[in-house]
Copies of this chain bind each other. A is one copy, B any other.
Amino acid sequence: MFSPLIDDLIQALRSLPGVGPKSAQRMALQLLEHNTQGALSLAGALQRAVEGVKRCNSCRTLTEHDTCRICSSTKRQTRLVCVVESPPDVIAFEQSGVFSGRYFVLHGHLSPIDGVGPADLGLDILGQQLQAGEIDELVLATNSTIEGEATAHYIAEMGKAAQVKVSRLAQGVPMGGELEYLDGGTLAHALNSRTTV
């Protein structure tokens, strides 16, 4: 439809999550028409981030430092470790402001069918931290999916073997959640785990 360089740019913009052909076209034309400076800044930021960002050697979250801001903070309870599947989960906790420990990011969950085993999730690193006595409690915050539960179960066993306290996020009705739209499994669990008021 356009000239090759514009078509290439539209195609490349589609690698962004949630960007379809229409939005990619709109983005490309808007940048080239009105914001070439923004386009160049974005190109530079992408390149620098891809080259510089790696995983924290303690918690595996994304950072350009050897040890991330949270792991190097003196204000965090470093012996309390929340295990999550992905960096956005870290953000969700940080934004809630309720967790004062540190994290361990799996970047996925156990999935034998896809060939994802413990080492792919960095569980050798977590194992070393457990063995070295660096952890008092593991809070398992993997997703409430079959894979997330299986992964939590595996890590719980690791924690117990190292005689460390292991907990799992409570399950139930989300705050503000309307029962009408809740799935049956959550509702059943919430009913079975009901608390006296």
Report the separation of the CA atoms of residues A174 and B92 in the bound assembly, to the nearest whole angstrom: 45
Give A10-24 interface residues, CB cut-off 8 Å to B. 11-13, 15-18, 23
Stretch of A60-68, A120-128, A161-169, A176-184 contacting B (4+ beta carbons < 8 Å)? A60-68
Of the listed residues A1, A53, A87, A94, the one surrounded by the most CB atoms of chain B closer than 10 A to its CB is: A53
Q: Would you give the shortest CB distance from A16 to chain B, in whole angstroms?
A: 5
Q: How far is the CB of A72 from chain B (nearest CB, A)?
A: 11
* Contact indicator B43/A43 (Cβ below 8 Å): yes
A42 within 8 A of B: yes
For residue A46, CB closer than 8 A to chain B, the reply is yes
Interface: A73 (CB within 8 A) = no
A35–B30 Cα distance when bound, in Å, is: 24
A89 to chain B minimum Cβ distance, whole angstroms, is 10
